[in-house]
Structure formats: C-alpha cells, structure tokens
Amino acid sequence: MTKDTHQRSLVGVIGGSGLYHLDNLTFVKKLELDTPWGRPSSAITIFALPSGTNVAFIARHGPHHMIPPSSVPSRANIAALKYLGVRAIIAFSAVGSLREEIAPGHVALPTQLIDRTKGIRPASFFEGTSVVAHAQFGDPVSVKFVKWLEERVQKALDDEGRGTVLHKDKTLVCMEGPQFSTRAESNMYRAWGGDLINMSALPEAKLAREAELSYAIIATATDYDSWRMESDAVTAHDVLQVLKQNAETSKHVAAYVLEELHHALEENLLNEEVGGMRNSIMPRSDAQPEEDIHKLAFVLPEYFG
C-alpha cells in the first residue's frame, strides 16, 4: 500500500447507483488499497480535471454494482479516502422522493438524515477497539460545505440546460433495504418530515464525520417510492429507467464544481469538521492495546499517530 503522494486528491467522490465512473474526466490511474477495515468497494480511481487537478473516485456498489446497500464497506471507503489525503467528499445517491414537488430527475441537497438502518452495518471506526468516542452528529452533513455547493450546483444545472430543479434543505431517510418500503412505511416517513429516501447515506455520513472529513450528499430522485396510493409501488425497473440520465447530470455537476472545490480546500475554506473529534474521544488510558491505537491512526493520525 502506497500513499498517492505525487498529486494529492483533496476531493473524494463516491458514486452511487448508475454512477460507476467519471468518464467525462481523464482517467489517471487506479489505486488498490487495503485498510484496517478491509478493501474499499472499488479500486480508488484517480480522474483529472482539465487543469490536471486530481480527484479520487469510489463506486459505492462496486464497478459492476455487485455490492448491496447493507454490505457496502463504508469504513474501508472513508478510511481509504482519508488516507489518500482527501478532505471533502461529495457523495452521489439515487433516492426516492417522498414529496410531490420532488419529481424523478430532480436534484436535492439534503441537510438532515433519519436513520432507519437496522444496526447491522458497522457504523464506527471505534467499534471493536478499546477506544470510545461519541461524534457530534446534530448536523449530519457539513453545513458550510452544503451551503457552498448550493449556488454551484444550481449553476451547473443551469449550464447543463435541461431545466433540472434543485431542492435544498431536505430530510433524507436512510432505510436498510434491500427491499423497498411498504406503503405504510413510506407514508410514515412523510409524516416524520422525510422528503427523500435511500439505503446508502448511513453509516457513510457518520464515518466521514469520525474521519473529520467534510461530507455532502448530492441526491438525484429516481421515483416516488410507494406513498402515492393511486400509483404502483416503486420497483427497481422504475429506478433503472431514470438512472442513466441522472448519472449524466451527476457527472456534469461533478465536472462543474470539482475544480473550485479543490481550490477552496487548498485554501482551508471548507475544513469545518477538522478538530471535531478532539472533544468526542473519551479520555485515553495506558491500558488501551497498541494495536487499537495503530488501527485508529490509519484514519485519525491527528489523535492516534
């Protein structure tokens, strides 16, 4: 395992369903990394923007979509990006819409999450170690970063010229899956204030927070889930119909915002999560085995290095 020290990728992109590469950018190389939490979903692919700036890309479900949502190795994905020097992650996700006004094809920037995963996904880097930590998670995505993205994503959509609507400040429900929700669940999520639903935002967002990485989700709506009683309940076929065009929009947005984002990170403008774990880790003890400290140093060298 070697660090990509030649030219650091400050931005990491996680591609969701339908988004398995950034082939509108220039392929540079693939990095096969191993982490203390196993191997990431895919090789980390480095793509270059026209200026030569590098970005690191992971396909969340693997390059051939062979990893179901409950088995995504999120700890390995986030740890690998952090290890390579990434400071901010844009996570793309295909989501169902729980609101009439968010139509398939629309884009949304969620700012809140509701956790409906079932506790079967490893959700912390500290799990299985002797170190206890409680990360702050009131704002599950990076507020400043999302605000920064709002204007740029809007401009990217205008530039694409398809009239794609952008929704801001939405609440995303992350369910376990892999089956879709029942109609009763879908309606319950609406009553809870949910606007969007997926199966992937958690624990990814929690792990990015533990790794002190800025993290934002760019959600693309594919369907109306199952709450509209007059319509058929969502199927994977419905989602697939919309995925291709949504992936093109996601790639356009990525190409449009990544250069400026890289420079903002270089200038330390969007590092809002850095230092956040300092007040989250419980007092350390000499009794904590060296191997635990070594493991955590991979993702948090700031505290365990």
Ligand X SMILES: CSC[C@H]1O[C@H](OP(=O)(O)O)[C@H](O)[C@@H]1O
Ligand Y SMILES: Nc1ncnc2[nH]cnc12
Choose among 114, 93, 118: nearest CA to 177.
118
For residues 194 to 223, the per-residue mask of contacts with ligand X, x marking binding by CB under 6 A and - elsewhere, is ----xxx-----------------------
Please pick, from the candidates 95, 107, 146, 281, the single residue that binds ligand Y as defined by CB under 6 A. Answer: 95
Q: Which amino acid is at 296?
A: L
Question: In the complex with ligand Y, which residue's Cβ is closer, 10 or 239?
Answer: 239
> Judged by CB under 6 A, does residue 219 bind ligand Y?
no
> Judged by CB under 6 A, does residue 222 bind ligand Y?
yes
Residue 270 carries which DSSP code? S
Question: In the complex with ligand Y, which residue's Cβ is closer, 86 or 202?
Answer: 202
Question: In the complex with ligand Y, which residue's Cβ is closer, 96 or 203?
Answer: 96
Q: Which does 60 bind (CB under 5 to 8 A by kind): ligand Y, ligand X, none?
A: ligand X
Site for ligand X in 102-161 (CB under 6 A): none
Q: What angle do CA 260, 263, 269 make, to 5 degrees?
A: 100
Rounded Cα–Cα distance for residues 104 and 110 (Å): 16
Q: Which does 184 bind (CB under 5 to 8 A by kind): ligand X, ligand Y, none?
A: none
Alpha helices in the chain (DSSP H): 74-83, 143-160, 183-191, 204-210, 236-266, 290-299, 301-304
The partner residues of 108 in beta bridges, in order of sequence, read 167, 219
Site for ligand X in 161-190 (CB under 6 A): none
Of 25-33, 191-199, 205-213, 284-292, the segment contacting ligand Y by CB under 6 A is 191-199
| Residue ranges of the binding site for substrate | 199, 223-225
For residues 147 to 186, the per-residue mask of contacts with ligand Y, x marking binding by CB under 6 A and - elsewhere, is ----------------------------x----x------
Please pick, from the candidates 56, 89, 90, 94, the single residue that binds ligand X as defined by CB under 6 A. Answer: 94
Q: Which residues contact 21 (CB under 8 A, 6 or more apart)?
A: 15, 45, 47, 57, 59, 63
Q: E-strand spans in the chain?
A: 11-15, 26-31, 44-48, 54-59, 88-97, 107-116, 166-175, 196-198, 214-223
With b for 16 or more beta-carbon neighbours within 10 A and e for fewer, the 59-92 pattern comes to bbbbeeeeeebeebbbbbbbbbbbbbbbbbbbbb
Residue count (the chain)? 305
Please pick, from the candidates 16, 73, 104, 110, the single residue that binds ligand X as defined by CB under 6 A. Answer: 16
Q: Which amino acid is at 76?
A: A
> Judged by CB under 6 A, does residue 66 bind ligand X?
no
> Judged by CB under 6 A, does residue 234 bind ligand Y?
yes
**Site residues for ligand X per CB under 6 A:** 16-17, 60-61, 69, 93-94, 198-200, 236, 239
**Site residues for ligand Y per CB under 6 A:** 94-96, 175, 180, 197-199, 222-223, 225, 234, 239
